Amino acid sequence: MLLEKLREIVWKCNLELPKNGLVKMTSGNVSGRDPETGLVVIKPSGYSFEELTPAHMVVVGPDGRVVEGDLEPSTDTDTHLYVYQNRPDIFGMVHTHSPYASSFAVLGQPIPACLTASAMLGGEIPLGGYAPIGGADIGQEIINKIGRALAIIMQNHGVFTIGSSAQEATKMAIEVEEIAKITHLAMLRGQPILLAPDQVDYMVNLYRNDYGQR
């Protein structure tokens, strides 16, 4: 079987989505790109998370052709591939309709940078415009609007996160929902205190250069 290790990683990351309350039923997906071959491992379409095994993951080429796998790849595959094609630095991507973050998508509001944890995602989580699901249009909107952020909320739809690995993108999907939840709760009782741009820059730098184990 091709890319056994990456299949295992992507499978595990997919299981984190229901575990963290980010998805219901079959919606949502994680993919990972192999740096050596450029092949992408992604969740199969319409498969519930509890039925998944590493062998169910579908391996696709950059052109969307299935290279290995008996199942159809996720309907969001073209979106993932468009982003990978245009961001050579990205090797993992996640899509969810996680409820607190998606409520910002419904209101057409970015998630403001009002928590220090926002810096992990690059500050404010930008809003992408409406795009029909399943194609490269969403990918194009993500590329145009995401900037330095590792997450974006797409109007009337949900969340996409990116990272240097499937694990990082998955972590960001969990963080986005947590930040969205806290921000939402705060907005019920008042006006959030926004971080100043220099405060965000300082912390983005800290997270990207000094955080974690050396």
Residues that bind Zn ion (CB under 5 A): 158
Distance of closest approach, residue 8 Cβ to Zn ion, in angstroms: 25
Question: Which residues, 6+ apart, have CB-to-CB distance to 91 below 8 Å?
Answer: 32, 33, 35, 84, 163, 164, 165, 166
Distance of closest approach, residue 133 Cβ to Zn ion, in angstroms: 6
Distance of closest approach, residue 164 Cβ to Zn ion, in angstroms: 23
Integer Cα distance of 31 and 60 in angstroms: 10
Distance of closest approach, residue 161 Cβ to Zn ion, in angstroms: 13
Task: Decide whether 45 or 199 has the Cβ nearer to Zn ion.
Answer: 45
Task: Decide whether 78 or 119 has the Cβ nearer to Zn ion.
Answer: 78
Query: What 3 state SS string does the chain have?
Result: CCCHHHHHHHHHHHHHHHHCCCCCCCCCEEEEECCCCCCEEECECCCCHHHCCHHHCEEECCCCCEEECCCCECCCHHHHHHHHHHCCCCCEEEEECCHHHHHHHHHCCCECCCCHHHHHHCCCECEECCCCCCCHHHHHHHHHHCCCCCEEEECCCEEEEEECCHHHHHHHHHHHHHHHHHHHHHHHHCCCCCCCHHHHHHHHHHHHHCCCCC
Task: Decide whether 158 or 163 has the Cβ nearer to Zn ion.
Answer: 158
Distance of closest approach, residue 177 Cβ to Zn ion, in angstroms: 15
Task: Decide whether 10 or 154 has the Cβ nearer to Zn ion.
Answer: 154
Distance of closest approach, residue 71 Cβ to Zn ion, in angstroms: 18
Task: Decide whether 32 or 158 has the Cβ nearer to Zn ion.
Answer: 158
Task: Decide whether 132 or 190 has the Cβ nearer to Zn ion.
Answer: 132
